[in-house]
Structure 1
Amino acid sequence: MSTLHMDLSRRINETSKQIEFSGVIGVKAGDVLIHSSAHGYSNRSDEMMNTTETRFGIASGCKLFTAIAICQLIQKGKLKFNSQLKDCLSIVFPDFHQNVTIHHLLTHTSGIPDYFDENVMADFEELWQKNPMYHIKRLKDFLPMFQNDMMMFEPGERFHYNNAGYILLGLIVEELTGLEFSEYIDNNIFLPCEMRDSGYFSMDKLPKKTALGYIDDENGTWRTNVYSLPIKGGADGGAYITASDMFRFWEGLFSNQLLNQEYTNLLLKPHISTKDEGEYYGYGVWINKKNDEIFKYHLMGYDPGVSFNSAVYPANRIKTVITSNESMGPYDITCAIEKEL
């Protein structure tokens, strides 16, 4: 093992102890797994430990799956990036702009209203006071939360992170294929990549080896996140994966198993600059540049009791997967890794 790899492992171990990390950390250099560790409990009540094969929720980390599904349909000629929303869905949105396109939805530049606007609402749990989370089982169940609201801005005007846009992309997948969204992803992403332990699981019937998500309150008590999230994840977030499945996903994507080279390039192209310097958004993926070169492609996901970070560093040929069943941790581990890179 090289000095860099040893230093990486040492720093990861130090940081995970320091922050009392709960979850799984995996790092690959090329095809070689150079770090794999599991920390904390998957079930605190029964003191069951996380293992490297535990499944974790990844929140918004799975927006990339939705973007790939849309690009697959475009590659097959069933859709175009400049197709307008009104021509793709038979659902009426009375106050949406006529010019909202697939490209706008993929890049968070559509200006449509969001059901959870992170600039307005700090607490995701507030959503379920009016719309009980146990009713949110299919993508169409999200519609009453934004369908009749007004536009935020003109399509294409700026980047503004938007969950509802990805719900609409998932509904388009359903309308064009006749499959439930999660079934399409199972067949067309998880299966080709041999992601056998991944899926969109319902929180009231989680499969074995799945970590429960935990919310730590300021007074030192804790609770699970079962009342804090939609009962089943969808096109904007909520899939469950294992670290090894996530590595298989990245390998499948970069070896053109999911899209041909042309559409893989389009997916990973920096389409829009976000508010942060050097940060861009592709289709479903964040992209950071340093000195005009791509430093990393990465995914992030944060929900109550869920946090996730996974990145590909092309120049270093390093891939990372950091899953957690607490609301924070992966960001600190990522920063520790990047200090060594």
Structure 2
Amino acid sequence: MKMHLINEKVTAIMKEIDFSGNVLVKRNNELLQHYSNGFSNRTHHTLNNEQTRFGIASGCKIFTAVAICQLVEKDQVTFESKLSDVLDMPFPHFDEGITIHHLLTHTAGIPDYFDEEVMKDFADLWVNQPMYLMRYGHNFLPLFQHEPMKLAVGERFHYNNAGYILLGLIVEQVSGKGFDEYVTEHVFKRAGMEQSGYFELDALPSNTALGYIDEEDGSWKSNIYSVPVKGGADGGAFVTVDDMHHFWQALMKFELLNPEMTQQLLTPYIHTDDDYDRFYGYGVWIDKRDDIISKYHVMGYDPGVSFHSAFYPESGVTSVVCSNKSEGAFDVFKELEKL
């Protein structure tokens, strides 16, 4: 276990849940909290360290949104561009009125390949569809391409992974580059995220944490058969806690998008939760307090992955919690937030 300036209450929570992962909290570039614990590889007893890479599941939807916003900046598409105009693929039952804005804000009403409103276990998807074949965005199309609309366009917020698969395919068609190639060049490199990438589970680079699923009887297994072999536009990138901090800094300093486009990315377009003053922008959750934005945040959960990260505009604080277990990041994140 490696700690730096960790609050006792946070440490107690970490011990209680047997936290495995990394934590980083900075105010601008001032280090406030740093912590590493657990094993990146349980079989070989390899410890997580400060530069371990972790999967972040849906936490990387914001990278997809930034990529789309960059294409809008270049006048290659608009937020009102119709799906049918920017993607040369058949969607026979989709509404012709679906726009890029609808896809970004989860309001397109399209069917999802993993509908979190009705499905519980992500791993169930791969019973009939081998996860080792899921390496590119177009591999997901058979899971939803010919299904009927779930909702009317713009009817309400419906968190939707398939919508972000489509956004990734739009990035590929418009830019002429593979999605991961585009994001690596135009997001990761520009933000100084030198250790991050869309890695394949059967060819992971060094110092990358395997995800672990703990069973009730105390046994465990890795998540290599529970998630797609390679992540993409809807989730599955790997980052370090430092790289995620670099991303927030680059975004807020307008190094990824110009000020106007950054504001569009961070606009609270749609209310998402009746119990909280929570909204969704483009690839990012947005919390308000007394009608003032208090937090921009991203999160991700997969079998063997839990992730939370936020930027607090009033204080300039960034927090990052990466874990290679299915649960734990939220508990640590909320305890850190109390500080």
TM-score interval (norm. to shorter): over 0.9
SS class of match (2:199): coil
SS class of match (2:7): helix
How far off its partner does 1:179 sit? 0.5
Provide the residue aligned with 2:44 in structure 1. 46
Q: What is the total number of aligned residue pairs between the two structures? A: 335
In 2: Cα distance, 1:169 partner to 1:298 partner? 20
Q: What does residue range 171-190 of structure 1 map to in structure 2 within 5 Å? A: 171-190=169-188
Give the counterpart letter for 1:282 in structure 2: G
How far off its partner does 1:12 sit? 2.1
How far off its partner does 1:98 sit? 0.5
Provide the residue aligned with 2:264 in structure 1. 266
Q: Deviations over 1:217-268 (max 9, x none)?
A: 1111100000001110000000000011111111111111100000000000
In 1: Cα distance, 2:271 partner to 2:149 partner? 21
Provide the residue aligned with 1:332 in structure 2. 331
Share of identical aligned residues, percent? 53
Give the counterpart letter for 2:86 in structure 1: C
SS class of match (2:138): helix
How far off its partner does 1:281 sit? 0.2
Q: What does residue range 288-303 of structure 1 map to in structure 2 within 5 Å? A: 288-303=287-302
How far off its partner does 1:11 sit? 2.6
Tell me which of 225, 239, 245 is aligned to 1:241.
239
In 1: Cα distance, 2:52 partner to 2:273 partner? 35
* Structure 2 residue 284 is the aligned partner of structure 1 residue 285: yes
In 1: Cα distance, 2:10 partner to 2:251 partner? 26
Q: TM-score, normalised by structure 2?
A: 0.97
Give the counterpart letter for 1:105 in structure 2: L
* Structure 2 residue 324 is the aligned partner of structure 1 residue 320: no
How far off its partner does 1:287 sit? 0.4
Give the counterpart letter for 1:58 in structure 2: I
Provide the residue aligned with 1:141 in structure 2. 139
In 2: Cα distance, 1:185 partner to 1:197 partner? 13
How far off its partner does 1:316 sit? 2.2
In 2: Cα distance, 1:178 partner to 1:230 partner? 24
* Of 268-277 and 163-172, the range deviating more from structure 2: 268-277
How far off its partner does 1:286 sit? 0.3
Q: Deviations over 1:112-141 (max 9, x none)?
A: 000000111101011001110001111100
In 2: Cα distance, 1:195 partner to 1:10 partner? 30
Give the counterpart letter for 1:30 in structure 2: N
Give the counterpart letter for 2:169 in structure 1: L
In 2: Cα distance, 1:135 partner to 1:278 partner? 40
Give the counterpart letter for 1:41 in structure 2: F
In 2: Cα distance, 1:42 partner to 1:170 partner? 29
Provide the residue aligned with 2:70 in structure 1. 72
In 2: Cα distance, 1:96 partner to 1:71 partner? 23
SS class of match (1:153): coil
How far off its partner does 1:202 sit? 0.4
Unmatched tracts of structure 1, length 5 or more:
none
Give the counterpart letter for 2:310 in structure 1: A
In 1: Cα distance, 2:235 partner to 2:165 partner? 9
In 2: Cα distance, 1:256 partner to 1:317 partner? 15
In 2: Cα distance, 1:12 partner to 1:174 partner? 42
* Of 27-36 and 164-173, the range deviating more from structure 2: 27-36
Q: Deviations over 1:8-28 (max 9, x none)?
A: 633322221121100000000
In 1: Cα distance, 2:27 partner to 2:65 partner? 26
Q: What does residue range 1-341 of structure 1 map to in structure 2 within 5 Å? A: 9-276=7-274, 277-340=276-339
In 1: Cα distance, 2:173 partner to 2:129 partner? 24
Q: Deviations over 1:37-81 (max 9, x none)?
A: 101111111111100110000000000000000000001000011
How far off its partner does 1:181 sit? 0.2
In 1: Cα distance, 2:298 partner to 2:184 partner? 19
In 2: Cα distance, 1:254 partner to 1:36 partner? 22
How far off its partner does 1:108 sit? 0.2
In 2: Cα distance, 1:91 partner to 1:143 partner? 10
In 1: Cα distance, 2:336 partner to 2:9 partner? 7
Unmatched tracts of structure 2, length 5 or more:
none
In 2: Cα distance, 1:312 partner to 1:246 partner? 10
Q: TM-score, normalised by structure 1?
A: 0.97
In 2: Cα distance, 1:173 partner to 1:30 partner? 31
Give the counterpart letter for 2:174 in structure 1: L
SS class of match (1:228): coil
